[in-house]
Amino acid sequence: MPSVGRVEGQYDPHRVEEWVKGFWEKKHVYKLVKEKNRGGKRFNFIDGPPYPSGAVPHIGTAWNKVLKDAILRYKRMRGYDVFDRPGYDCHGLPIEVKVEQKLGIRVKREIEEKIGVEKFIEECRGLALRNVESLTHWFKELGVFMDWENPYLTLRDEYIEAGWWLIKKAADQGLLDREERVVYWCPRCSTTLAEYEIEHADLIDPSIYVKFPVRGREREYLLIWTTTPWTLPANTFIMAHPEETYVRVRVGGDTLILAKARLKNVMEEADVKDYVVLEEFPGEALAGIEYDHPLRDLVPLQEKLSRYHRVVMAPEFVTMHEGTGLVHGAPGHGREDFEVARREGIDYIASPVDDEGRFTEEAGKYAGMYVRKANDVIIEDLRAAGALFHEGSILHKYPVCWRCKTPVLMRTTKQWILRVTKLRDKLVEEAGKVEWIPGWALDRLMHMLENLQDWVLSRQRYWGSPLPVWECPEGHRVVVGSLRELEELGGERPKELHKPWIDRVVLKCPVCGRPMRRVPDVLDVWFDSAIAFYAAKGHPEKLSIEDVILDFIVEGHDQTRGWFFSLLRAGVLGFSRAPYRKVLVHGFVLDEHGREMHKSLGNYVGTDEAIEKMGRDPLRLWVLQNTVWEDPRFSWRWVEEARRDLAIAWNTFVFASTYMSLDGYDPSSHGLGEAAGSLRIEDRWMLSRINSLVKKVTENMERYHVHEAVRALRRFIVEDVSHWYIRLIRPRVWVEENTGDKLAAYAVLYHALWKWLLMASAFTPFLAEKIYQDMYRPSLRDARESIHLYEWPGVDEEYIDRELEEKMDTIRDIYEAVAAARMKAGLKLRQPVRRVVVFTSDPAVAEAAESMKDLLARLANARSIEVRPVERLEEIMEYSVEPVPRSLGPRYRKLTPLITRYIEENPEPVARDILSRGEHRLVLQGREITLTRGDVKITPRYIEGYSVVEKPWGSVAVDTRLTEEEIAEGAARDIVRRIQVMRKELGISLDDYIDTVIALPEKLAELVARHRDYIAGETRSKTIEITTAEPSGEAWDIVREWEIMGEKITIYIRKHREE
RNA sequence: GGGCCCGUAGCUCAGCCAGGUGGAGCACCCGGCUGAUAACCGGGGGGUCGGGGGUUCAAAUCCCCCCGGGCCCA
């Protein structure tokens, strides 16, 4: 006959988790879980690939994976066949940089010169794969059930090939193009830098105001401000704001043009006090004004540029926060300038700077100078030309190379782009069809789509997917969509698709027949992850649309602009659809002060450390209970708190399983059906609560409010089960015989805990598994190998009784008042009292107290509960009344003492009349006297024998008058408790018997003796002696002195041995 | 500089969408309880609901501005 097994010992996460880990491994539980739903309804999910630059995941990454795990476990429990392949984003500069550091490479060209690309690539791959392996280890440690044997890796040939397909597809639509772009450039490393390779550092730079002479005007100048004098040789135009007001100002013999809003600041900075505003006019009026470059004689390039020199309107780039309101435009050195140049139809983009940051011949006098060093020379030349209005310096944030901290330059280069701007309307439409959780994620994305830029695909690096474009000397171009096409074009399949092997593949130009070589660029890593939605599964030609469109993804809110956005672009490019249906956004884990976690700040917490210190389930519980889309603050204290709550959950199961197994409880023969006739009100309450809980947790999981689901589960086990239900059923469980009453409690507890455990298995899978194996598995016929092979519990609507749940809340409230009233009276809960009176005029409270009288009496340890309307509170009140002579004296003069005495002798009627009617009339010495509120000071108090506590809905009074019988019972319970403490100290098992002697003074002995049988029963005493003398000199296991009701008593116990 | 999010007790957060007497847990102090006890129960101190303005009979809640923090971008 199956019966409930036993959960034992204190909750030790590491002990539990190590065991469970081994169990899952040995029994191949993940595989079994997958097989269970194979072929069922699909849940098409994909893991956003983390970047394997480190070996141990950040705690925020742990959250990311655990969140996915909880959701996928839930979906599997709901019967879905879940696609759960994880992935890694393996290419890119961060890995290249680490390898460069390892190999001692300082400049990019050393890669080819010293190491060779082949070796370099091998190193990059090695580093990526090692980190992939390590990260996978930690994700498994966290209990994340994903297909760790088959992750998708962006470095694999099949993956790269899948990417080629999309580029070909884009090219076929005319969306692949090549054009000049302004990029960040590190002059020391001779390379472009992406945004994420830029840091901002405090730097001191020149801050100069330069006068550009207006063509055809005498001593009239456009005044501009710049902190990068080295960009002046490439000046092409000047930008102004059409809607701002500008002024002509006379300074000395010069006329300067600048924005009115900046005038005061500029003059103050230049320390010019004498200036006269000649004219105000709108910025619009400046449009088209031509000027000459002050350095045109020194810089040959300026000959080419002079035809562009005029003022153009650029409201989006001209601010009134700094500068002069006239902005020097050098499209070769700035993105905004570049944009304006394009808009203005300027086709010559000057960028006279080489790879190492030196001026080229075009810059004339400055040729060969390192640009930042040329600043001083340029300033002197400006001064000599009479063009320098003011020179100062500025401390500002300036972008620097994250690797060598060199200030970066902006420089023009040719880059390959995807013209996604042409797809904007479709992107907007598709983004709107997706369900975003929370909704504001869509706002973010839409904002970005409004400012949509073309996608710069190419990078001049090594470790990346190769751009599949080949060109011949005639300028003919092919885009290769697959390896098959490569071979069809006369190429030989290389060893692998990375550089340098792919660069050796030479094709034959289909137009002119000449050899074609590959454009040496690699792809932006965002392109790699963008195609994961299909590339993780294979080449798109072999996939159906249902394979490709994801049901659900979840990542951090930084990915709105990252992965969510790039997936959307790739989805629309490749399939004219958003590639996902629902997107959940999660937050960032900050340190306990709300700052970002950084290794350099010393506030970094790794997953390894968190697991080691706190355990996996506590960590999981903590991360999962945080509001999904907000940024939680990490502190060890919170994880510790989560651990403590799990300990309470664990103890709940220890309690249940201990008694059930002791009694050989078999749920299959004494289940809820059998218990139906014996259910007490608290049982019906518990059944209602657990089903309400299942409903609530399910609803929240369906809308991906994981934190609400987790909080509800946590609250339920701690408060409803541990703190309340178990407390209520405890006495029933202590009964030795298998009464229907006890079995009903078992059935309910067993059932409720099982449903809870099933739900908890999605969130704290280790704890749930261990409890299942220890307690539930032995009790079930056809038990499954693992708890993770069960379905999500259903809701038994017929058990839900909202009214009962509300009533129980009221009972808890009343009970709190009773406890407070007892405390005021110094009556411990063990001491029975005659009665408790609930005074209320709230029908709901009265109804609850009335209908749950028995339960309330048990809780309150009262012989009876009475419910009365609140007016009758008066019956247990009395009033002390003091006359107020200051009020009486002036009115009644000599009568005052008599009135005073009257009041003191008749406090009750005086108080009642004044309180109820506002006055009390009396006749003294023939004179009618009316006492009102001001004449007396009334102090109400409760009569002796009651301790009363007030609540918003009424009052609760505990009758504190104890009879001898009640005192005797209290004493007996006191003694029972002492003996229990001693039993526990003795370390004997729950079902052992003892022998007991209680030695105590005569006056107590009689009282205690009345409850001799009760004491013996509760303490499992086979023999019990109540005596006033010391017992004979037999051997006792424990002897202890106690003080009860102010008297010394001595208790002797020993383990009972059968003769 | 822009977009989005967050700001409520010492700490972490609920309450806000659908306005109606500000809550929980933790921490602290006092008292109690104890056969799941590193637990639990009762009481206490603790709040300009980030600041200011507006709408309203009524604002933590709705609207506007500002400040601080986070993410993304410039």
SS3 A46: coil
| Contact present, A786 and A757 (Cβ < 8 Å) | no
Instruction: Report d(CA A248, CA A840) in Å as an integer.
Output: 83
Cα separation values, A488 from A371, A480, A485, Å: 48, 10, 5
Closest protein residue to B71 (Cα–C1'): A558
Within A 415-474, residues with CB less than 7 Å from strand B: 440-441, 443-444, 447-448, 451
- State yes or no: cis peptide before A500, omega within 30 of 0: yes
Q: Report, as an integer, the average pLDDT of A784-798.
A: 95
Q: Report, as an integer, the average pLDDT of A650-667.
A: 91
Q: Report, as an integer, the average pLDDT of A687-716.
A: 89
Handedness of CA A755, A758, A762, A768 (dihedral sign): positive
Say if strands A245-251 and A276-282 run parallel, antiparallel, or are unpaired.
Answer: antiparallel
Closest protein residue to B4 (Cα–C1'): A444
SS3 A323: coil
- Residue A600's pLDDT is 67
Q: What is the pLDDT of residues A301-316, one digit of tens each?
A: 999 999 999 999 988 7
| Contact present, A606 and A57 (Cβ < 8 Å) | yes
A952 pLDDT above the threshold of 80: no
Closest protein residue to B41 (Cα–C1'): A819
A890 pLDDT above the threshold of 70: no
User: Residue A839 CB closer than 7 angstroms to strand B?
Assistant: no
Q: Report, as an integer, the average pLDDT of A204-231.
A: 93
SS3 A551: strand
- Report residue A425 as tokens: 């309307």
- Nearest partner of A4 among A652, A650, A659, A661, judged by Cα: A661
Cα separation values, A234 from A296, A302, A338, A351, A771, Å: 10, 7, 12, 6, 73
User: Residue A1055 CB closer than 7 angstroms to strand B?
Assistant: no
- In the complex, which nucleotide's C1' lies nearest to the CA atom of residue A444? B4
Say if strands A81-83 and A87-88 run parallel, antiparallel, or are unpaired.
Answer: unpaired
Q: Which of the nucleotides in strand B have any atom less than 7 Å away from a protein CB atom?
A: 1, 3-6, 11-14, 21, 25-26, 31-43, 69-74
Between CA A659 and C1' B69 the distance (Å) reads: 51
Question: Dihedral through CA A313, CA A318, CA A324, CA A327, nearest 10?
Answer: -60
Between CA A467 and C1' B17 the distance (Å) reads: 48
Instruction: Report d(CA A717, CA A928) in Å as an integer.
Output: 68
- State yes or no: cis peptide before A438, omega within 30 of 0: yes
Kindly report the CA angle at A906 between A904 and A907, in degrees rounded to 5? 70
Q: What is the pLDDT of residues A164-201, one digit of tens each?
A: 999 999 999 999 999 888 888 888 777 777 665 677 77
H-helix or E-strand containing A939? strand A936-942
Q: Which of A25-29, A50-54, A827-831, A862-866 has the lowest mean pLDDT?
A: A827-831
| Contact present, A761 and A753 (Cβ < 8 Å) | no
- In the complex, which nucleotide's C1' lies nearest to the CA atom of residue A629? B5
- Residue A471's pLDDT is 95
Residues paired with A866 in a beta bridge: A837
Residues paired with A481 in a beta bridge: none
Handedness of CA A368, A371, A376, A379 (dihedral sign): positive
Q: Report, as an integer, the average pLDDT of A962-990.
A: 81
Q: Report, as an integer, the average pLDDT of A382-398.
A: 88
Closest protein residue to B74 (Cα–C1'): A336
Q: Which of A165-169, A473-477, A489-493, A726-730 has the lowest mean pLDDT?
A: A726-730
- Residue A590's pLDDT is 82
Instruction: Report d(CA A646, CA A308) in Å as an integer.
Output: 72
How remote is the C-alpha of A1018 from its chain's centroid?
Answer: 49
Length of chain A: 1059
| Percentage with pLDDT > 70 across chain A | 97
Within A 181-240, residues with CB less than 7 Å from strand B: 195-196, 200
Residues paired with A183 in a beta bridge: A411
H helices within A436-578, ranges in order?
440-450, 483-488, 525-530, 532-535, 545-548, 563-575
Between CA A484 and C1' B57 the distance (Å) reads: 78
Between CA A1001 and C1' B8 the distance (Å) reads: 58
What band does A752 get if pLDDT is binned at 50, 70 and 90? very high
Within A 951-980, residues with CB less than 7 Å from strand B: 952, 973, 977, 980
What band does A1059 get if pLDDT is binned at 50, 70 and 90? low
Say if strands A458-459 and A522-523 run parallel, antiparallel, or are unpaired.
Answer: antiparallel
User: Residue A921 CB closer than 7 angstroms to strand B?
Assistant: no
How remote is the C-alpha of A104 from its chain's centroid?
Answer: 39
| Contact present, A152 and A85 (Cβ < 8 Å) | yes
Q: What is the pLDDT of residues A521-541, one digit of tens each?
A: 999 889 999 999 999 998 898
What count of other Cβ atoms lies within 10 Å of the Cβ of residue A592?
12
Looking at per-residue pLDDT, the higher value among A913 and A690 belongs to A690
Phi, psi of A910 (to 5 degrees): -60, -50
- Residue A367's pLDDT is 94
- Report residue A887 as tokens: 């009020």
- In the complex, which nucleotide's C1' lies nearest to the CA atom of residue A441? B4
What band does A261 get if pLDDT is binned at 50, 70 and 90? confident
Kindly report the CA angle at A584 between A583 and A585, in degrees rounded to 5? 120
Closest protein residue to B37 (Cα–C1'): A651
User: Residue A740 CB closer than 7 angstroms to strand B?
Assistant: no
- In the complex, which nucleotide's C1' lies nearest to the CA atom of residue A979? B35
Between CA A576 and C1' B61 the distance (Å) reads: 42
Closest protein residue to B12 (Cα–C1'): A638
H helices within A576-680, ranges in order?
607-614, 616-625, 636-662, 672-675
- Residue A267's pLDDT is 92
- Nearest partner of A120 among A130, A109, A136, A132, judged by Cα: A109
User: Residue A828 CB closer than 7 angstroms to strand B?
Assistant: yes
- Residue A243's pLDDT is 84
Within A 241-300, residues with CB less than 7 Å from strand B: none
Q: What is the pTM of this model?
A: 0.86
Burial class for A987, CB neighbours closer than 10 Å (0-12, 13-18, 19+): exposed
Q: What is the ipTM of this complex?
A: 0.85
Between CA A943 and C1' B50 the distance (Å) reads: 49
- Residue A514's pLDDT is 94
**Which residue type occupies A94?**
P
Q: What's the mean pLDDT when you consider all of chain A?
A: 88
Between CA A810 and C1' B21 the distance (Å) reads: 19
Q: Report, as an integer, the average pLDDT of A41-66.
A: 92
SS3 A800: coil
Within A 7-46, residues with CB less than 7 Å from strand B: 10
- Residue A237's pLDDT is 95
| Contact present, A540 and A161 (Cβ < 8 Å) | no
Q: What is the pLDDT of residues A569-621, one digit of tens each?
A: 999 999 999 999 999 988 888 877 777 777 766 777 889 988 998 899 999 99
- Residue A594's pLDDT is 74
A291 pLDDT above the threshold of 90: yes
Between CA A582 and C1' B2 the distance (Å) reads: 27
| Contact present, A164 and A535 (Cβ < 8 Å) | no
- Residue A355's pLDDT is 84
A899 pLDDT above the threshold of 80: no
Between CA A507 and C1' B67 the distance (Å) reads: 63
Q: Report, as an integer, the average pLDDT of A288-297.
A: 94
- In the complex, which nucleotide's C1' lies nearest to the CA atom of residue A319? B1
Q: What is the pLDDT of residues A154-174, one digit of tens each?
A: 999 999 999 999 999 999 999
- In the complex, which nucleotide's C1' lies nearest to the CA atom of residue A635? B12
- Nearest partner of A143 among A604, A591, A537, A607, judged by Cα: A607
- Residue A23's pLDDT is 97
H-helix or E-strand containing A971? helix A964-986
Between CA A820 and C1' B42 the distance (Å) reads: 6
User: Residue A658 CB closer than 7 angstroms to strand B?
Assistant: yes
- Residue A459's pLDDT is 86
- Residue A601's pLDDT is 67
Closest protein residue to B69 (Cα–C1'): A594
| Percentage with pLDDT > 90 across chain A | 46
Between CA A261 and C1' B68 the distance (Å) reads: 28
Q: First and final CA of chain A: distance in angstroms?
A: 33
What band does A246 get if pLDDT is binned at 50, 70 and 90? very high
Label residues A445-469 b or e (16+ Cβ within 10 Å = b): beebbeebebbbbbbebbbbbbbbb
Between CA A645 and C1' B35 the distance (Å) reads: 21
Q: What is the largest CA-CA distance in chain A?
A: 137
Q: Report, as an integer, the average pLDDT of A695-718.
A: 88
Kindly report the CA angle at A844 between A838 and A849, in degrees rounded to 5? 40
Looking at per-residue pLDDT, the higher value among A603 and A999 belongs to A999
- Residue A957's pLDDT is 87
Between CA A590 and C1' B70 the distance (Å) reads: 8
- Residue A518's pLDDT is 96
Looking at per-residue pLDDT, the higher value among A990 and A53 belongs to A53
Q: Report, as an integer, the average pLDDT of A114-141.
A: 95
